[in-house]
Every structure is written in C-alpha cells, then in structure tokens.
Amino acid sequence: MDNILEISGLNKHFGKKIALDNVGFNIKKGHIVGLVGPNGAGKSTIMKAVLGLIGTDSGQIKVEDELISINNHPALEKVGALIEYPGIYPYMTGREHLKLYATGANAESNIDQIVEELEMTKYIQMKAKSYSLGMKQKLGIALALVNKPEFVILDEPMNGLDPQANKLLRELIVKQAKAGTTFLISSHILSELGKIADDIVVIEQGKIIADAPIDEITHADKKLIILETSDDNKARQILKENNYAVADENKVIIQQNKEVTLAKILRLLVESGIDINDVKHQNAVLEDSLLQILKDDEK
Amino acid sequence: MTTLIKQELYKISKRKTTYILPIITIVFMFLAAIMIKNVSESGDTAIDSAAYFVDLYSGLTWVVYLMIFAGSTIITQEFEFGTIKNLLYRKYSRTEILISKWMTLLIMNICYFVMTIIVAVFLKFIFYPDVTFDMTINNHSLFSAMLMNVLGNFLVTWIVLSLVLMISTLFKNSAVSVSVGIVFYFGASVLSMFQTLAIQKWDWLKWNPLNMLNVGRQVQSPEMHQMTQLSTNSMIIASFVYIIIFLAIGYYAFRSRKNI
C-alpha cells in the first residue's frame, strides 16, 4: 500500500458554517505534504478529523487502510501530532512531559535524542510554566516526534519559532522524511513549506482547490524574464504581435523556455527601436503561483 | 489501560497539591484530636472518645473534599491546558481514557483512606490511650465500626465524585464542578432538617440524591432510618444507582463530544 492517509468525501458543519466541503486527498508514504490555505480555511479541522478528535458529518478517513472515528482509532498508534497550540502541563518540566508520553524500550534514548536534535537541553529540566512561546512550541514538536512515529501531523509548527529554530525544524523534518517518516504540515507561511514539501494541498473555505506535487504548483522549472525598456507598452505590443505570451502587468514579463530565449527577445525589441534599460531573471515562487490558484478559483 | 493509569498517576505525582492537601488534612486531624480532647475532657466517656476515632478525627470529611478537588481537576485540567488533544489522538479509545481516570481516582481514594486510618490510629495512641480496639460501638468492635464508617463514606464520596465528574465533562470547567461538588456535599448537611420535614410530607422525596449522602451515617447508626425513611440496604442500592447514572451521563457526554 502506497498511501498512509486516504481522505474522501469529508463534510463538516459548525452550526451554519461549512467547515469542510467534500474534502478528499491522499498522502503517499514517506512524503512531506504541505496543507496550505488562509486562516480559517479548514486546515486544523482536517487534521483534527484525521486524529479522531472531531466527528464529521460524512466521508471517511483511513490511516494505514484502517478507518478512523472519534471512538475507535487504533491505527493512530504510530502517529505523532501537534495541533493548534502545544498542550502543556505548567507544573511539569519539559523532560517530564516527554517521559509521560514516551513509550517502548528505547524511551529514554529517544527522549535524549529529540531533546538534542531540537536543541532543548538548556531548559528541558525547567518547569514548562516558565517557557516562552517558542520553547513551548518546540516541546510540542518534541512530544509529536519522541516515539519516532511513522506519520507526523504538524499544525503550523513554525509558529513562534525564531529563524534559527525554524531552520532546525526544517532540517529535522527533511532528515526524518528521508528515513521514511510521512509528514502532513499546515502553514500559511508558504515559503517555509515550499522549501521542504513534496506535495501541496491547497484549501480555501473548506474546499480543496489544488492538490499536486510542489513542482507543478510552483512551476519551479519556469523562469521569468523581466525587462525594463524605454517604452514598455510598445514592447509588450510588439512581443504579442510576434506571438510571445506576455503578462498584462506594468513591467514586461515573459516566460522563458527552449523556444523563448532572451537573445531572440532582445534582438526583436532592439530591431524595433526599443532600448533595453535592465534585464532580470526570476524563478516563479510558491507565493505567486498559490495566489494565482486562489485567484483563478474565485473567477 | 495500565499504561494510561500509570500516566495519570505520574501526572498527579508531579502536582504540588497532591502533597499539600493531604498534609493540610493531617494537620486538621491533629487539630481536631487535640481540640476534642481539651474541650470534652471533663464529661466525656470512653465511648464518646471512641466515636471520634470512628470518624477518623474528621479525616473522613476531608477525604471527601480531597476527592472533590481531584475529581474536578482530573478531566477539566486537560481541557484547560489543551492537553486533551494529546490524550485523545493516541491509539486509545475515549472509553479507555475515561475509565483510566476513574480508576486513578479510585486508587487515590483508597490511598487517602489508608493515610487517614494510619494517622487516626497514631492519634488515638497519642491522645486517647484509654480507647481500645476491643471496645464495642453499636455491637461492633471499634475497628470494624471504623471500617464500616469508611465504607459508608466511600459510597458518599463516590456519589459526590460521580456528580463532579459528570459536571466536569459537561462544562469542561473545574471551578464549576468543584463548586457543584462542595455545594452538593454541604447542602446535604445544611438542608438535612428541611429535608426530613419534606420527606415526611412527600414520601417520594426520600429517593433524592441528597438523602443518599446520609448512607455513611446510617450504616453506622441504623436509627437514622427514621430520618431517611429508607432501609440501609435500599440506601446502599440507591447510592450505587445514582453513582452509575452520574458516571454514565458523564461517560456519554465525553464519548459523544464531537469537537475538542
């Protein structure tokens, strides 16, 4: 079986509000999947449903081919998760939290390992009530990872983390994914997910509006040429007349590929009497393409 | 299930109140033993002094309060700290989670009883050396009278506790459940006079749960029957029925809660 998670036809109402609208997607084993969407889109709701924390109106969720419901979910044995904000007992130390949840023969060494990996050694013996937001967040992540789960669900894990901790976490996720762990990670910081995710699922107002490998969504293979000319309007017109696809924006933006090369474009414009003041190259980034997806969907 | 109970006990062992409250209880038992001795030294018989031991020098009442506190926090704290998600998303079912919490409370309850009994025996030897275990109270030896009182109190504790647990799962708020527990337990003694009159007028009122809180006293002194209008056996059975009803409502609410 290739998929560790299979979701189909999921619907959920909160009162009159539709939280999930026929949500369905699969996650392949060993993949890092980014769940992306604006706040209130339904990211946490999906994750909570997968973890058997909330009931749904219809649809089904399977983890390792076993159905998940709020009262029966033995398949979650090998799942680790951090949902919304870390649940922490203020009167216990970080290490005591890890001890509470760590299971199996290697519990102690697993605790030591995750504490070291997340660089929490300095404060792990302190009571959690003295922790900063970022420290609590790290502890929440450590709790999700301590038992070396096969499937990890992290809801906005970068929340409250400083850039250094952020980098540390990304590296840890990539390392564990290479070792075979599957990740479902939600975030509204798209660039963070773009750096690590294999696939992206985009959700808006409870609906999945895109579900594809990251390359397809980011068009990372597509390079843009951005020109500043003596007469941008005229340049755009000439390029269009010569069958180049030009974006309708203030600058002159052309997508580069094997047929469309910078040399050809420059020659055409110079021959038409237009001076080129500046040339820039840019890779299409996740934010732009995602915005495009969200925009397209509104139409 | 053993893992879950161990985890519950681990959490409880890390809380300061787990140690402070029993220490306060022991202090109050000491104070009660000293005060009773000083106030009643002149006219008291050995039997009166023995009765204080049977009540474990007020220790039994304190155990009820300790359990109200423990019961009101064991579920609501998980909601207040956001730890309920960590508890529920694992392989265990909600039924297992809730039962592990009940079992933990049962273990705590037994520990508190053992603690108060040991302290009371100690107090008896210090302050009441003339009270002996072979004395008889209501045709029972002192020790068995005390044990019966403990068992009666155990039923009372669990009537209050099951109500507290029910309120906890319904309202997710420890302040609400602890208040309801104390008011209910307190209400029984405050309203007992009024209740006796009301039961004389409307016979069916004898089945109300407040009346069941007298089961502890009636086990000891069967003449309480005139006040409660119920036989001791009926009271014991009715107490169990109330405990089961309250626990079942709490269980149902916890199991069917759709949004965590």
Domain ranges of chain B: 2-256
Q: Can you give the length of chain A in residues?
A: 299
Q: Test A83 with B89 for CB contact under 8 angstroms.
A: yes
d(CA A143, CA A145): 5
Q: Are residues A234 and A117 in the same domain?
A: no
Which one-letter DSSP state was computed for residue A132?
-
- A29: which 2 tokens? 């084993």
Nearest residue to A208 (alpha-carbon basis) of A10, A59, A17, A23: A23
Q: Is the pLDDT of residue B188 over 80?
A: no
Q: Test A87 with B86 for CB contact under 8 angstroms.
A: yes
B124 near B185, Cβ under 8 Å?
no
- Name the residue facing B91 among A54, A77, A88 (closest C-beta): A77
Q: What is the mean pLDDT of residues B15-35?
A: 91
d(CA A40, CA A186): 12
Confidence of residue A290 (pLDDT cuts 50, 70, 90): low
CA distances from A240 to A32, A234, A283, A290 (A): 40, 10, 22, 26
Q: Are residues A235 and A200 in the same domain?
A: no
Confidence of residue A294 (pLDDT cuts 50, 70, 90): low
A263: containing domain: 223-283
Strand ranges (DSSP E) for chain A?
Answer: 3-14, 17-28, 32-36, 58-63, 66-67, 79-82, 151-155, 182-187, 199-204, 207-213, 223-229, 252-256, 276-283
Instruction: State pLDDT tens for residues A157-210.
Output: 988 888 899 889 999 999 999 999 999 999 876 777 877 888 888 888 888 887
Q: Are residues A139 and A177 in the same domain?
A: yes
Most A CBs within 10 Å: which of B83, B86, B92, as the mutation test of the A interface? B86
d(CA A286, CA A214): 8
- Name the residue facing A89 among B11, B16, B93 (closest C-beta): B11
**β-bridge mates for residue A58, sequence order:** A11
Whether A267 is covered by a domain: the verdict is yes
Task: Give contacts of B84 with chain A, Cβ < 8 Å.
Answer: 87
Instruction: State pLDDT tens for residues A227-259.
Output: 888 888 888 888 888 877 776 667 787 877 677
Where b means 16+ CB within 10 Å and e means fewer, A88-107 reads bbebbbbbbbbbbbbeeeee
Task: Give contacts of A86 with chain B, Cβ < 8 Å.
Answer: 82
For residue B140, what is the enclosing H or E element?
Answer: strand B140-141
Q: Are residues A152 and A256 in the same domain?
A: no
d(CA B239, CA B210): 10
Look up residue B191 and give its amino acid: L
Task: Give contacts of B16 with chain A, Cβ < 8 Å.
Answer: 91
Residue A191 to chain B, least CA–CA distance (Å): 28
Look up residue A195 and give its amino acid: K
CA distances from A168 to A89, A125, A176, B110, B180 (A): 25, 21, 12, 48, 48
Q: Test A76 with B89 for CB contact under 8 angstroms.
A: yes
Q: Are residues A120 and A256 in the same domain?
A: no
The residue of chain B with its CA nearest to that of A72 is B93
Whether A295 is covered by a domain: the verdict is no
- Name the residue facing A100 among B10, B81, B258 (closest C-beta): B10
Q: What is the mean pLDDT of residues B168-175?
A: 85
Whether A62 is covered by a domain: the verdict is yes
Q: Per CB distance under 8 Å, which residues of A are interface residues toward B?
A: 14, 48, 51-55, 70-77, 79, 81, 83-92, 96, 99-101, 103, 143
A185 near A35, Cβ under 8 Å?
yes
Q: Which residue among A179, A199, A218 closes a domain?
A: A218
Give the CATH number for residue A276.
Answer: 3.30.70
Q: Are residues A25 and A66 in the same domain?
A: yes
Look up residue A54 and give its amino acid: I
Q: Are residues A135 and A62 in the same domain?
A: yes
Q: Test A73 with B94 for CB contact under 8 angstroms.
A: no
Confidence of residue B174 (pLDDT cuts 50, 70, 90): confident
d(CA A210, CA A223): 22
The residue of chain A with its CA nearest to that of B9 is A100
Residue B185 to chain A, least CA–CA distance (Å): 29
Give me the pLDDT at residue B51, please. 80
Confidence of residue B38 (pLDDT cuts 50, 70, 90): confident
Q: Are residues A188 and A237 in the same domain?
A: no
Q: Are residues A53 and A141 in the same domain?
A: yes
Q: Is the pLDDT of residue A297 over 50?
A: no
Q: Is the pLDDT of residue A299 over 50?
A: no
A93 near A124, Cβ under 8 Å?
yes
Q: Quick one: angle between helices B17-40 and B46-54, nearest 10?
A: 170
Pairing outcome for strands A223-229 and A252-256? antiparallel
Give me the pLDDT at residue A37, please. 84
Q: What is the CA radius of gyration of chain B?
A: 20
Q: Are residues A192 and A48 in the same domain?
A: yes
Residue A37 CB neighbours (<10 A)? 25
Give me the pLDDT at residue A298, please. 46
Give the CATH number for residue A203.
Answer: 3.40.50.300
d(CA A27, CA A186): 14
- B210: which 2 tokens? 């407040």
Give me the pLDDT at residue B196, please. 79
CA distances from B163 to B6, B33, B168, B238 (A): 24, 31, 9, 14
Q: Are residues A279 and A151 in the same domain?
A: no
Give the count of Cβ contacts less than 8 A between chain A and B: 74
Backbone angles phi, psi at A295, to 5 degrees: -65, -45
Number of domains into which chain A is organized: 2
Q: Are residues A37 and A136 in the same domain?
A: yes
Task: Give contacts of A89 with chain B, Cβ < 8 Å.
Answer: 11, 14, 77, 81, 83
Q: Test B91 with A83 for CB contact under 8 angstroms.
A: no
Nearest residue to B245 (alpha-carbon basis) of B206, B237, B152, B183: B237
Pairing outcome for strands A58-63 and A151-155? unpaired
Q: Test B10 with A52 for CB contact under 8 angstroms.
A: no
ipTM of predicted complex: 0.85
Most A CBs within 10 Å: which of B1, B12, B14, as the mutation test of the A interface? B14
